[in-house]
Amino acid sequence: MTLITTQFNRRSFLKVSAAAGGGMVLGFSWLSGCMPKSETALAIPEEWFDINGFIKIGDTGLVTIFSPNPEIGQNVKTSMPMIVAEELDVDWKNVVVEQAKLNTDLYQGQIAGGSQSIRRGWEPLRMAGATARRMLMEAAANEWKVDVNELTAEKGVITHKSSGKSTTYGAVAGAAVSIPVPEEVTLKNTADFKLVGSRVRNVDAKKIITGQPLFGLDYHREGMLIAMIVHPPAFGMKLKSLDDKAARAMPGIRDVFTINTAPQERQWSDTNAFPELIAVVGTSTWEVMKAKKAIVAEWEQETPLENTEDHQDQLARALENTTEADVRRIDGQPDRAFAKAAKVIERTFTAPFLAHNTMEPMNFFADVTENTAELVGPIQTPEYMEKSISSLLGMPVENIDVKMTRMGGGFGRRLYGHFGLEAAVISQKIKSPVKLVYTREDDISQGTYRPAYRMTFKAGLNANNELIAYEVKGVGIDSNPIFANRFPAGTVENYRAVGTAVSSNISTGAWRAPNSNFTAGAEQAFLDEVAEAAGQDPIDFRLKLFERAINVPIGEKNDYEPARYAGVLKLVKEKANWGAEMPGVSRGVAAYFCHNSYVAQVIDLIKVEDQIKIKKVWCAVDCGIVVNLEGALNQIEGGIIDGIGHAMYSELSFVNGAPEQSNFHNYRLIRHTEAPLEIETFFVQNDISPTGLGEPSLPPAIGALANAMYRATRQRYYHQPFSTAAQQERTVEMI
């Protein structure tokens, strides 16, 4: 058992007597001071209290746990309440889970991004559950006039073994209101967990499969209008003239007008290349879609054109012209070591812009009056949207209410809430509730995109085929893809990392596992080639490097634990039976650390009628304690398929600032028949607090795929998408 002090967070706790039935509400400020269903068995209390992330216990014993973090499919709406319920020790069938509203006074870190929700919520969630349990037990102890330490609690029932007395949480909830928040509470030993670590079905699963309204596109308000936007056809353009006569005359169309959605005070999430737009408003989606096509707009170039067909040339020049200011880390004397090396291997890897392509297109509901603004929709950053709308409308933030719906995917796209701002401005101008809906073409051609990247790796081997020098140089559009202190930093005496970025008027932003989604695949493919040049097994080659980092680490800023990193490699090696003869199977391996978690993968390829098919993916994961095994497996599998699909097929290209792809007929995504036939995941068992899981499985999948494809085709894959075979060439031969 772990004893923790609650006094530091005393202001985080609030208990309120329920108006109906005298139940207890225990609320807690999300993350404050704590940085690192089946059938309902009980009746639902008639009244709920709106208090930050909180536990609510009714006199029936039913527990409601509000989940404040946005749900984008990463399953936090199930997993976070599980943590509370574990420490509270309540039967999961008696738990009701609901999405909390945005409340900047009470919540902290109310965001979905960076695979941080569980990691940052672990301690405060456990504390909240344990504190509620203790207060309920003290209420029972007072009633029975016994020492609270003589009581036990399990599945919502408090028992005094020596007297045989027992009671339910609901029966003592009212009395618990007067119990002071304890100075200290005892957390469970992880070995005693019953709910955490089990497989729990998504709390919204039944609603999703039966089509009940959960998502932004489902949201409906009586009398609301439908809005769509027309934006410039290319980056750097503005509206010159507008002919909307035909559109206005069409059935169901209420108005056509221009809007500008650039807030006075920009938040980091205000990434939007097209603030000046044409809005079309009508009574139905179909009517508005038809009217959009009748719009005749003339656009003119506002900023100088870029030769956007040559982004890789631009990135290549940037790499050639890096300076000392771009050096992120240097150990030893890399230049001298390369000069003495018996072998030098140098390779360049590239990746294109990518769209996010969430299943649910961008949408948001807004009802803006003279003094208030209500917004409802799918957003990963509700707090920042609220601030931007306040700036844009000139309205006090306390008059703005942003409510979160479940999201049909985010992947970073919904970090940038310009579509919510657009809905607010349209509602304000039309003086009516409005739901803004993007078509797929609107979303793909608007941005925001995963940056294009370019990286060059260089390795030097001595006469004994030992790695004695390593250099990595990287550049991205508005993004530096270099993680200077990650592996293989700390394993090579002579090491240099150089990173820079180039600007563009093409808007870019976070895309699942930002930067890592390219860096990992390139790094791991390069290391395989270095291992081959050294005449070593690719896993053994990596493990030798980790041994160096464990025993004689270079530098003091390495941001990974080499023993855990090596641990997932050893685990996947064992489970995949690496090294065994497997006729007809081509295997590739990769391992990567990001979002505080370690993932290693082996991909097995086979040929079926002269086509390469992914037979199986073996995956080993060290993410600390797994909260919900069901959700964890889904996250791992989804990330692997996502990484494989985009590396193989996806590409967004531009001509004179205009995207060439507009929908799935010319923006290629992975098909069902191209997904791995099997994915088997193994989690490292330990007592380490949970770390990220939504993103870490994607990056290594790209490297493992490239390495497996090399063994299947004897061709190295340096440029994404891999399916464009003509792009694959050796940029610098081994010397």
Model confidence at 174: pLDDT above 70: yes
- What's the rounded mean pLDDT across residues 468-482? 97
pLDDT tens figures, 122-137 = 998 898 889 889 989 9
pLDDT in tens, 283-334: 999 999 999 999 999 999 887 665 545 789 999 999 999 999 999 999 999 9
Listed in order, strand segments (DSSP E) in 645-707 are 654-655, 658-659, 679-683
Q: Are 684 and 624 in contact (CB under 8 A)?
A: no
| Per-residue confidence (pLDDT) for residue 18, from 0 to 100 | 40
Kindly state whether residue 501 falls inside one of the protein's structural domains: yes
Of 407, 437, 467, the residue at which a domain comes to its end is: 437
DSSP H or E stretch at residue 502: strand 494-502
Q: Are 485 and 518 contained in the same domain? A: yes
Instruction: Give the Cβ contact number of residue 192 at 10 Å.
Output: 11
Q: Are residues 184 and 228 in the same domain?
A: no
What's residue 88's pLDDT?
93
Q: Tell me: the pLDDT tens digits for 697-727?
A: 999 999 999 999 999 999 999 999 999 854 4
Q: For residue 247, which of 257, 234, 259, 237 has the smallest C-alpha distance?
A: 257
For the chain, how are helix, strand and coil distributed in percent, rounded to 5? 30, 25, 40
If asked whether residues 592 and 559 sit together in one domain, one would say yes
Higher confidence at residue 516 or residue 95? Answer: 516
511 C-beta neighbours (distance < 10 Å), count: 25
**Amino acid at residue number 197:** G
CB 502 within 8 A of CB 477: yes
Does the pTM surpass 0.85? The reply is yes
Examine residue 734 and state whether it is found in any structural domain, yes or no.
no
The whole-number pLDDT of residue 493 equals 97
Is 51 in contact with 25 (CB distance < 8 Å)?
yes
Q: What is the C-alpha separation between 394 and 50, in angstroms, rounded?
A: 27
Closest CA to 386 of 270, 305, 474: 270
Domain co-membership, 94 together with 161: yes
The pLDDT tens digits of the residues spanning 49-80 come to 222 245 788 888 888 887 878 999 999 999 99
Report in angstroms the alpha-carbon separations of 333 from 328, 339, 469, 484, 500: 15, 10, 8, 16, 21
Whether 394 is covered by a domain: the verdict is: yes
At residue 32, the pLDDT reads 44
- 691 and 593 in one domain? yes
43 vs 331, residue with greater confidence: 331
Question: CA-to-CA distance for 421 and 597, rounded, in angstroms?
Answer: 35
Q: Is the pLDDT at 553 greater than 50, yes or no?
A: yes
Rg (CA), the chain: 28
Tell me the C-alpha distance between 561 and 571, whole Å: 16
In terms of DSSP H, where are the helices of 373-515? 382-393, 418-430, 440-446
Sequential DSSP letters for 199-249: ----TTHHHHHTT-S-BGGG---TT-EEEEEE--SSTTEEEEEEE-HHHHT
Question: How many distinct structural domains can be found in the chain?
Answer: 3
- Residue 707: closest CA among 696, 716, 699: 716
Nearest to 283 by CA among 434, 486, 103, 73: 434
Helix (H, G, I), strand (E, B) or coil at 424: helix
pLDDT at 8: 38
Q: What is the pLDDT of residue 35?
A: 40
pLDDT at 579: 96
Q: What is the pLDDT at residue 37?
A: 41
The range of the structural domain enclosing residue 108 comes to: 2-203
The one-letter amino acid code at 249 reads: A
Which candidate, 351, 643, 699, 695, places its Cα nearest to that of 516?
Answer: 699
Q: What is the pLDDT of residue 453?
A: 98
- What pLDDT score does 102 carry? 79
Of 360, 461, 379, which Cα lies nearest the Cα of 423? 379
Mean pLDDT of 429-442: 97
In whole angstroms, what is the distance from residue 651 CA to residue 726 CA?
15
Closest CA to 55 of 206, 178, 169: 169
Residue 435: strand pairing partners: 226, 365
Mean pLDDT of 557-568: 97
Main-chain phi, psi angles of 341, to 5 degrees: -65, 145
Averaged confidence pLDDT in the chain: 90
Fill in the DSSP letter of residue 452: P
Return d(Cα 97, Cα 78) in angstroms, integer. 8
**Final residue belonging to a domain, choices 148, 180, 203:** 203
Residue 317 lies in a domain: no
Task: Judge if 433 and 454 occupy the same domain.
Answer: no
Residue 162: exposure state from Cβ atoms within 10 A (0-12, 13-18, ≥19): exposed
The answer on 589 and 492 residing in a single domain is yes
314: tokens are: 């631009």
Residue 101 lies in a domain: yes
Residue 209 within a domain: no
Is 654 domain-assigned?
yes
**Which 3-state string (H, E, C) describes 148-209?**
HHHEEEECCEEEECCCCEEEEHHHHHHHHCCCCCCCEEEECCHHHCCCCCCCCCCCCHHHHH
Pick from 70-79, 568-577, 725-734: least confident: 725-734
pLDDT, tens digit (0-9, with 9 covering 90-100), for 382-417: 999 999 999 999 999 999 999 999 999 999 999 999
User: According to the model, what pLDDT value does residue 526 have?
Assistant: 98
Paired tokens of 703: 């490297």
- Is 537 in the same domain as 431? no
**Within a domain: residue 661?**
yes
Which pLDDT does position 6 carry in this prediction?
65
Question: Quick one: 101 and 150 in the same domain?
Answer: yes
Q: What is the pLDDT, as a whole number, of residue 107?
A: 57
Q: Which pLDDT band, with edges at 50, 70 and 90, does 692 fall under? A: very high
224 half-sphere exposure, CB direction, 13 A CA radius: 25
Q: Please tell me the distance from the alpha carbon of residue 129 to that of residue 194, in angstroms, as a whole number.
A: 14
Q: Which residue, 437, 462, 494, sits at the end of a domain?
A: 437
Same structural domain for residues 193 and 224? Answer: no
- Are 469 and 432 found together in one domain? no
295 and 367 in a single domain? The answer is yes
Q: Where are the beta strands (DSSP E) in 552-671?
A: 586-594, 597-608, 611-622, 654-655, 658-659
Beta carbons of 228 and 439 less than 8 angstroms apart: yes
Using CA atoms in the order 704, 707, 712, 714, what is the torsion angle rounded to 10 degrees? 170
Mean pLDDT for 157-185 is: 89
* CATH at 272: 3.30.365.10
